[in-house]
């Protein structure tokens, strides 16, 4: 790794970076984000599986598999890839600590290959999950020519923004033709090269915020002008308003990316925080695209069940809850 080290140096006995206060490394029981990584990934996998499962089940009940809508196909693809992405993030949990608490021998070619796969799959999941949302909008709102054009603009911007992951990951996080993964360490040490990657990452983060805001805002005027009761209007806005979660997830991802520039000496710690934010961002995008189908599934299979009615009755009769009027049910006839 470092050519300045004396020959025969045991890389497992020295840290991969220097602590700011020059304190000795803690290889045995260091401060770590590993627990947070595993906990967040477990919760998000459960939630995403629930929403995607409801989407697939709804389409199974309403459609023939041969007629499965394009946006459902994209959702399933993004879910499968996101499961792989989450697995990679979990496999890197031992690196979720300060760089001065990581043995230098851990940073090998296997580590670099995982980082490359991590970046590549992350971009593809963002592309497919957000494209699925725009395809869903086309199915629901595409009858209006102006709205259809606006949706197509969003779809094109999604493709342009996230397709950059493939060339950037291949150029900056993989070895050049004819070189090995070991040679990549010397390239990573190039500050100019690292700066390009970091600022590109910030550009992706800013673009994601704008795109998620666009996804959130796009259906609001249409839903507000529907000739339905105020209750149903609010229910529809609540269903599609989950896209606001995507904006929040993108903002969080961008905020953590800035630390990689302001504090580059502790890259592994900040990268772990970014990976957690990336997981949430991907899962939220998949959940947002599945929300209408989940609403359809819930109303058809859960809302009238004895268990749910008993639960709601218990909640209404709880002494800690104020009495509320009975909510009006909405049976969505929209595509799911």
So what's the pLDDT on residue 269? Answer: 93
Q: Kindly tell me if the per-residue pLDDT of 121 is higher than 80.
A: yes
Provide CB contacts within 8 A for 119, sequence distance 6+: 165, 168, 169, 173
What's the confidence (pLDDT) of residue 66?
A: 40
Average pLDDT over residues 1-14: 69
Show Cβ contacts of residue 78 under 8 Å, excluding neighbours closer than 6 positions: 124, 125, 128, 129, 132, 282, 285, 286
pLDDT tens digits, 8-33: 677 888 888 888 888 898 998 999 99
Q: Looking up tokens 């259906």, which residue turns up?
A: 219
Helix axis angle, 165-172 relative to 191-217, nearest 10°?
160
In angstroms, the CA 39 to CA 248 distance is 20
65 phi/psi in degrees, rounded to 5 = -60, -35
Phi, psi for 24 (deg, rounded to 5): -65, 155
Phi/psi for 92 (5° steps) reads -95, 10
Examine the pLDDT at 333 and tell me if it is beyond 60: no
What is the pLDDT, as a whole number, of residue 228? 66
pLDDT bin (cut points 50, 70, 90) of residue 158 is very high
**Phi–psi pair at 308, nearest 5 degrees:** -65, -40
Q: Cα(128)–Cα(159) distance, rounded to whole angstroms?
A: 9
Q: How far apart are CA 277 and CA 329, in angstroms?
A: 35
Residue 329's pLDDT band (boundaries 50, 70, 90)? very low
Residue 225: count of CB within 10 angstroms of its CB:
8
CA angle 308, 75, 203 (to 5 degrees): 115
Cα–Cα dist 248/212, whole Å: 9
Reading the block at residue 56, the tokens are 């697939």
Q: What pLDDT digit, counting tens, does each position of 235-249 carry? A: 677 777 778 888 888
Orientation of helix 165-172 relative to helix 145-163, angle to 10°: 0
pLDDT at 170 over 60: yes
CA angle 249, 140, 155 (to 5 degrees): 50
255-303 per-position pLDDT tens digit: 989 988 888 888 899 999 999 999 998 999 999 888 888 888 888 777 7
Distance of CA 289 to the CA centre of its chain: 12
Per the model's pLDDT, the better-predicted residue between 321 and 71 turns out to be 71
pLDDT of residue 221: 85
The confidence score (pLDDT) of residue 68 equals 44
The angle, 0 to 180 degrees and rounded to 10, between the axes of the packed helices 109-141 and 191-217 is 20
CA dihedral angle for residue 315, residue 316, residue 322, residue 324, rounded to 10 degrees: 130
Asked if the model's pLDDT at residue 336 lies above 70, the reply is no
* Confidence band, pLDDT 50/70/90 cuts, at residue 330: very low
Quick one: pLDDT at residue 332?
44
What is the mean predicted confidence (pLDDT) over 97-105?
92
Mean pLDDT across the chain, nearest whole number? 82
For residue 72, pLDDT beyond 80: no
Maximum distance among all Cα pairs of the chain, rounded to whole angstroms = 78
Neighbours of 276 (CB within 10 A): 22
Least confident of 47-61, 130-144, 160-174, 176-190: 176-190
Q: Among 146-155, 183-192, 254-263, 307-316, which is the least confidently predicted range?
A: 183-192
Report which of residues 46 and 336 the model is more confident about. 46
Length of the chain: 336
């Amino acid at each position: 790794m470092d050519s300045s080290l004396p020959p025969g140096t045991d890389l497992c006995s020295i840290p991969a970076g220097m602590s700011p206060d020059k304190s000795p490394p803690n290889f045995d029981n260091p401060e770590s984000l590993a627990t947070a990584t595993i906990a967040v990934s477990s919760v998000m996998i459960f939630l995403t599986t629930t929403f995607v499962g409801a989407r697939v089940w709804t389409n199974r009940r309403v459609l023939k598999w041969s007629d499965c809508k394009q946006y459902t196909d994209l959702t399933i693809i993004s879910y499968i890839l996101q499961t792989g992405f989450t697995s990679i993030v979990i496999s890197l949990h031992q690196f979720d600590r300060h760089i001065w608490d990581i043995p230098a021998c851990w940073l090998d070619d296997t580590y670099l290959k995982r980082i490359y796969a991590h970046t590549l799959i992350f971009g593809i999941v963002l592309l497919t999950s957000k494209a699925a949302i725009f395809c869903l909008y086309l199915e629901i709102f595409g009858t209006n020519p102006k709205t259809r054009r606006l949706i197509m603009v969003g779809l094109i911007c999604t493709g342009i923004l996230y397709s950059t992951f493939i060339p950037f990951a291949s150029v900056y996080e993989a070895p050049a033709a004819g070189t090995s993964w070991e040679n990549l360490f010397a390239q990573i040490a190039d500050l100019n090269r690292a700066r390009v990657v970091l600022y590109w990452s910030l550009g992706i983060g800013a673009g994601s915020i704008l795109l998620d805001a666009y996804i959130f805002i796009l259906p609001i005027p249409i839903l507000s002008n529907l000739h339905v009761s105020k209750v149903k209007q609010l229910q529809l806005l609540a269903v599609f308003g989950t896209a606001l979660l995507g904006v929040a997830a993108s903002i969080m991802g961008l905020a953590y990316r800035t630390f990689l520039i302001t504090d580059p000496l502790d890259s592994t710690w900040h990268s772990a925080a970014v990976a957690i934010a990336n997981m949430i961002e991907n899962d939220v995008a998949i959940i947002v695209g599945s929300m209408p189908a989940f609403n359809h599934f819930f109303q058809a299979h859960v809302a009238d069940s004895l268990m749910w009615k008993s639960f709601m009755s218990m909640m209404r009769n709880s002494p800690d809850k104020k009495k509320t009027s009975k909510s009006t049910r909405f049976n969505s006839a929209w595509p799911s």
